[in-house]
Structure 1
Amino acid sequence: MRIKATLERIPGGMMVVPLLLAATINTFFPDLLRIGNFTEELFVNGALTLIALFLLCTGAQINLRSFGVSLAKGGVLLGTKWAVGAVFGLLAYMFAGSDGLWLGLAPVAVIAAMTNSNGGLYVALVGQYGNKDDRAAYSLLALNDGPFLTMVALSVFGAMGFVDGMFSIVSFIAVLLPILIGMVLGNLDEEMREFLDKGSSMLIPFFAFALGMGIDYAAILEGGLAGVILGLLTVFVTGTAGFFVFKALKWNPIVGASEGSTAGNAVATPAAIAAASASFEPLADIATVQVAAATVTTAILLPLYIAFLVKRLEKKGFKFENGEMVEGNA
């Protein structure tokens, strides 16, 4: 039975399938796994512990030794994604209704999804259309994994008076410390980075399942369609912004557009934010579902959007050779 291969054929399958399976169990058989001891601790109560370990593993992938053009490209990609996601998150908070939602979207989900990116999808796309500097930029992009950039945006909005429940410095450090420890370990020892890299992907289905045990289908019905809309915004707004920023800097614009996605790890961000500040807890479940839906949507749509952009550039006389975009014959 090829369980892993089957899950990998489904966009975001390693995260979405366990999440929905657990939501099914929690909706129809809520006491099935709530039997105490190891079973309940792992499959029901283990989300925050598993997420913390996941953050440590992903922190180890942040390579501080990457400099030069790749660092510049990574910084531009990171900054563009964060700025666009933060602006839309601010709009969501400014125009949210009495239920705390904007167009059906939880503001924290908007920030979590739009500032995050699918590193595997980025590497796959720039592997086809980019060069070695573009691929090396991925080491810096690991900074948008996890809740760090979301917490930065929320802290800024809190200082501006748009968000209640500012993070204390202790809460902020408590969320970031696993990332920082992982970063130190990964940069001190390359073998430790490779060792912890395995945990980055291995832990996703386990914390996704534990998160799913806090969700029922009422929340999915409420947030699923809005999550698809969030995915569309992520692809067409952040992807297009990256395209034009890279084009303005005379870099390959397809690389800029390749950041227009949301990774499965972003599903953990609402829970991490709620753990750091209880004021975000009421919308944590629906935000989790919306980020999950956005992950699937972007995984399907971004490659199609990239193919569309490539064809448009080729019609304008550009072609792609050895990872570079060059002017050809129209």
Structure 2
Amino acid sequence: MDHAGERTALMIIPLFLGAALNTFAPNTAEFFGGFTGALITGTLPILGVFIFCVGATIDFRSSGYIARKGMTLLLGKIGFAALLGLIAAQFIPEDGIQSGFFAGLSVLAIVAVMNETNGGLYLALVNHIGRKEDAGAFAFISTESGPFMTMVTFGITGLAAFPWETLAATVIPFLLGCILGNLDHELRDLFSKVVPAIIPFFARQHAEFWHAAPIRIAGYIHRGFCGHVIRRLSVLLDRFIARGDGVAGVAASSTAVAAVAVPYALAEANAAFVSVAEAATAIIATSVIVTSLLTPLATVWVDKKVRRNKHKTPPPDKQVTLH
């Protein structure tokens, strides 16, 4: 199995294990308690460490190309998620769709899926296909993993409000990581290795295998639509703003494993999300699984297509000029 395949397995296997645990033994954490219970239910402490370590990977002296690539994909996707959230809020009730074919769909599910990029999978893919120059954008893209950017999106659009203490508490670990990582390069190297190691621990899901079949169906349809939109958007951003060839944009079109922790993190900060958190988690988990499978395939396919087109283009001195 290649590195991209290993990273895909890293995303999917813990998701299934976590879902199986919640389906067949949902009271495991309460039964054992202690360290076992904390490992199963302690999403927020793990997420705090993850955000800190992601912050440590940011290099303030990044090259212009890396910064342009990373910031383009980051801000472009957040901006589009905000726009889509505003549009969806005009049609979807605050407590989500309660019945019918799209039962369980909510503005929270839509924004979180669009907003959360799997930085670890992106890094594995661009390294696998030999695009070392794009790998540096990982630090910027990884900042989308976790609740902070989704909180910001809801805040700037006016769709929800969060106390400033909550926003500060979310961003402080990231800023501390940034400071330490830039003060000491050895610390940056140390914490950057922790980021992929933490990912499997987000597998503790609230979602169950058999949790409301319509919600799963809505999740697949929602992911199919959003997946196509995200890929197209990311490719356009990469080509026309970051001045790339679109491959990095495709590699950044997945949904982060950390996104499954977002609904309940937001529900703890704002009670308005409590009623939609469980269904949103199920839809997001579906998106994580689907994109973990499809994003590597799409990235490799686009990369091969780009390479073929480059080989077909004759060098400048051999191109035919029509008069």
Do these two structures clear the TM 0.5 threshold for a shared fold by scoring above it?
yes
Q: Deviation per CA, 1:63-105, whole angstroms, max 9, x where unpaired?
A: 2221311111111111222122222222222210474239442
Contact residue 59 and residue 178 of structure 1 kept, 8 A = yes
Paired position in structure 2 for 1:106:
106
Q: Relative to structure 1, is the Cα distance of residues 70 and 54 closer, same or farther in structure 2, using a 3 angstrom cutoff?
A: closer
In structure 1, what is the Cα distance between the partners aligned to 2:187 and 2:212? 38
Whole-Å separation in 1 of the counterparts to 2:69 and 2:48 = 29
Post-superposition offset of 1:195: 2.7
Contact 1:215 1:285 in 2 (8 A): yes
- Residue aligned with 2:30, SS: coil
For residue 231 of structure 2, what is the aligned residue in structure 1? 239
SS of equivalent to 1:10: helix
1:75 is aligned to 2:82: no
Determine the structure 1 residue equivalent to 2:313. Answer: 327
Cα distance in 2, alignment partners of residues 9 and 129 from structure 1 = 15
**Secondary structure of the corresponding residue to residue 95 of structure 1:** coil
Counterpart check, 1:188 vs 2:174: no
> Secondary structure of 1:252's match?
coil
Match of 2:59?
Answer: 63
Give 1:20's aligned residue. Answer: 19
Residues 40-68 of structure 1, C-alpha deviation per residue, up to 9 Å, x if partnerless?
Answer: 64145422222222222222222222131
CA–CA distance in 2 between the matches of 1:253 and 1:312? 11
Q: Which residue of 2 aligns with 1:151?
A: 151
For residue 36 of structure 1, report the CA deviation from its aligned partner.
Answer: 5.8
Whole-Å separation in 2 of the counterparts to 1:62 and 1:272: 24
Structure 2 match to 1:173: 168
How many equivalent pairs are there? 307
The one of 230, 253, 264 equivalent to 1:260 is 253
Deviation for aligned residue 1:154: 0.3
Structure 1, 68-77 or 82-91: larger mean CA deviation: 82-91
Q: Against the structure 1 CA distance between its residues 37 and 246, is the aligned structure 2 distance closer, same or farther, given a 3 Å change threshold?
A: closer
Quick one: distance in 1 between partners of 2:9 and 2:306? Answer: 30
Cα deviation for residue 222 of structure 1 reads 4.2
SS of residue paired to 1:35: helix
Q: How does 1:1-330 map to 2 (within 5 A)?
A: 10=9, 12-25=11-24, 29-35=25-31, 37-39=33-35, 41-97=37-93, 99-101=95-97, 103-104=102-103, 105-127=105-127, 131-158=131-158, 163-164=159-160, 166-209=161-204, 212=205, 214-217=206-209, 219=211, 221-249=213-241, 250-310=243-303, 313=306, 317-319=309-311, 327-328=313-314
Q: CA RMSD in A?
A: 3.0
Asked if the contact 2:215/2:279 (under 8 Å) is kept, the reply is yes
CA distance change for structure 1 residues 278 and 68 in 2, over 3 Å: closer, same or farther? same
The corresponding residue for 1:323 is none
**Distance in 2 of aligned mates of 1:269 and 1:142:** 14
| Percent of aligned positions that are identical | 30
Amino acid at match of 2:215: G
Cα distance between partner residues in 1 of 2:126 and 2:7: 20
Q: Distance between the aligned counterparts of 1:31 and 1:310, measured in 2?
A: 45
For 2:34, the aligned partner's letter is F
Structure 1 gap ranges (5+): 1-5, 320-325
Per-residue deviation, 1:150: 0.8
**Range 37-46 or range 59-68, more displaced:** 37-46
Give the TM-score taking structure 1 as reference length: 0.80
Cα displacement string for residues 208-229 of structure 1 (whole angstroms, at most 9, x for unaligned residues) = 32xx3x4445535343222223
Post-superposition, which runs of at least 4 consecutive aligned residues in structure 1 deviate over 6 A? none
Distance 1:9 1:50 in 2: 21
How far did 1:111 drift? Answer: 1.5
Q: Classify the secondary structure of the residue corresponding to 2:31.
A: coil
Deviation, 1:294, is: 0.5
CA deviations over 1:285-308 (Å, ceiling 9, x no partner): 221221111111112222333344
CA deviation vs aligned residue, 1:276-325 (integer Å, no higher than 9, x gap): 2222122112212211111111122223333444565567x434xxxxxx
What is the alpha-carbon distance in structure 1 between the residues aligned to residue 6 and residue 251 of structure 2? 23
Choose 16-25 or 304-313, whichever is displaced more: 304-313
User: Structure 1: which amino acid aligns with 2:263?
Assistant: P
